[in-house]
Structure 1
Amino acid sequence: MDKLRCMEAFVAVVETGNFSAAADKLDVSSVMVGKHIRQLEELLGARLLQRSTRRQSLTEAGAAFYESARTVLEQVRVAEHSIETMQATPRGLLRVSAPVTLGACAIAPLISGYLRQHAEVKVELMLSNTRVDLIEEGFDMAIRIGALADSELVARPLRPYRMIICAAPAYLERAGVPRTSADLPNHQCLAHLVWNGRTAWQLEDKPEYAWPAETRFASNDGQALRAAAVNGAGLILQPEVLLADDLAAGRLVPLLQSHVPAARPVNLVYLRDRRPRRKLMSLVEYLLERMG
């Protein structure tokens, strides 16, 4: 039994005056309207309508129930309207998870532009290289690098994540320009402390030449490595998004472009929803337009 549907039928009969007019209003048959009224009366254990051949009149119990039922239905309509309005106009909080470097260098600037277009939306951008559980941790969306295994998520591809090898002009003038990956052991190669034998980037042309493990300068932060490279400390292997501005300005020079590791896929993921929220889809569409 659908209580709300039965209440809706009862209120329609009261307001239209008979079962036939109520049926037209609700776009159902008169028989179905009568069934809903009977179910409601059985549930309440009281007769709500006095029936005659032409018109229905309210009993005392029916009159009392009508006022309450009308109030409940109005509250339901208000609740539905609030959701419809929310879906039509982006508003509310969006929680987004992204990897540290990609999130700081690419996602954060784009979200800034998105917020200028959508004044009623707030965004929390959490940067972490650990994959979050969207449901358990309450995220609306995540940006993920690498192969996906979450079949319950909607995945939208973004621009691939590319690595680049480069160095400052001053360093190359002093140490020479490497021509092949075999030249790397003769250069100062800046290392990330998170890398190890399992996670270090393997070069594309000759996997036996991994990025040199021995280094005079290492850091656990890509921005620190970038700053050191710009100041001539050595060769750097880092994401293109981190180095793009320095490359464009000539502060760093790309090297060994056919040797860099293969680009990895990047996906924007979110939970499946039969009627996705407008605020979520507005950000999805914004990011896809600029990074897809």
Structure 2
Amino acid sequence: MIDSMKVFCMVVAKNGFRAAASELDMSPAMVSRHVAKLEFELKTSLLKRNTRSLTLTDAGRSFYQRCGQIVSLYDQCLHQVSHDNKSISGHLKVGIPHSISQLHVIPALESFYREYPEITLDIIAGNHSLELFSHGYDLALHCGPLPDSALYYTLIGYWRKQTVASPSYLQQHGTPQVPDDLNAHQCLLHFDNRARSWRYVVDQQPLDVPVFGRTRINSSLDLCQLAQAGQGIAYLPDFTVKPMLARGELVSLLEAFMPPPLPMYVVHINPQPSKREQLFIDFLKTCSLAKAQP
């Protein structure tokens, strides 16, 4: 509505739709639609129009006086917020898992710097939630249950595991219908998965299914790339495989057996994040890393 109010004020100030349109760099028809929208919402006429002149109705005159004050206050608020953003400065050291950093954070980082040009960042890719106090991190993104209840944290959403393979792999080797079918497939294992098993839910009970494969890698991105290349089946976070699933490069498998969603936290040193820490936490929420609800 504020845009329509600005247009209305310009029409009155310039005493005409065409003059206002020229000043606002929009068509006279668009100017007319803004004014009509205001009149519809207010359920009253604001202007009397004829071919030669334009005058305010009594309601229009009263509205114009208040409208100018509101538009001026709105512009002042925008200016103040912009000034506050630019005045926030300082440095943050942030730990972010590799796949989230590469696929979601780095592509959106320019927008953060555009909003907060005086904040500088050290982004360290990897899992760092347990290194906050010993390695000088301000924030760390952690995916899954927190191992240490003494840590301060902010919940930013939920994510889940997905079992995926390429269409070419499935065409050649077939599609597993139940978790036990994975025994007959080449599975791509994460090096940190010491148990060499993947968790599913069978008959409403969690079940760790042993999996086998010739390749183990300590990178979800590399495992995803191998799966795309048709080298086997992978078990990866949804935020890692989401772009590839959308493009049809990977197919989601065994969806009826996947375990419940897991939390995603930003872990921080202080009980209450500082202003710049909170701004970066809010930025992470805009990166579509996790769903708001499980």
TM normalised by structure 1 equals 0.61
Partner of residue 220, structure 1: 218
After TM superposition, list the pairs within 5 Å mapping 1:78-117 onto structure 2: 89-117=87-115
Query: Percent of aligned positions with the same letter in both sequences?
Result: 24
Give distance in 1, aligned partners of 2:260 and 2:210. Answer: 14
Matched residue SS, 2:282: helix
Give distance in 2, aligned partners of 1:240 and 1:142. Answer: 19
Partner of residue 119, structure 2: 121
Give distance in 2, aligned partners of 1:269 and 1:208. Answer: 29
The CA deviation string for residues 29-67 of structure 1, in whole angstroms up to 9 with x for no partner, is xxxxxxxxxxxxxxxxxxxxxxxxxxxxxxxxxxxxxxx
Which one of 195, 201, 207 corresponds to residue 204 of structure 1? 201
> Which of the pair has more CA radius of gyration?
1
After TM superposition, list the pairs within 5 Å mapping 1:238-257 onto structure 2: 238-257=236-255
- Residue 167 of structure 1: CA displacement? 0.9
Higher strand share: 2
The CA deviation string for residues 105-145 of structure 1, in whole angstroms up to 9 with x for no partner, is 33333434312322111111112224344344322212122
Conserved in 2, the CA contact under 8 Å of 1:110 and 1:287?
A: no
Conserved in 2, the CA contact under 8 Å of 1:144 and 1:266?
A: yes
Q: Partner letter of residue 284 of structure 2?
A: L
- Residue 170 of structure 1: CA displacement? 1.1
Give distance in 2, aligned partners of 1:288 and 1:227. Answer: 26
Aligned length in residues: 204
- Residue 165 of structure 1: CA displacement? 0.7
After TM superposition, list the pairs within 5 Å mapping 1:34-45 onto structure 2: none
Matched residue SS, 1:236: strand
Matched residue SS, 1:203: strand
Runs of 4+ in 1 over 6 A off after TM superposition: 85-88
TM normalised by structure 2 equals 0.61
Unaligned runs of 5+ in 1: 1-84
Conserved in 1, the CA contact under 8 Å of 2:86 and 2:116?
A: no
Matched residue SS, 1:282: helix
Conserved in 2, the CA contact under 8 Å of 1:108 and 1:125?
A: no
- CA RMSD in angstroms, aligned pairs only: 2.7
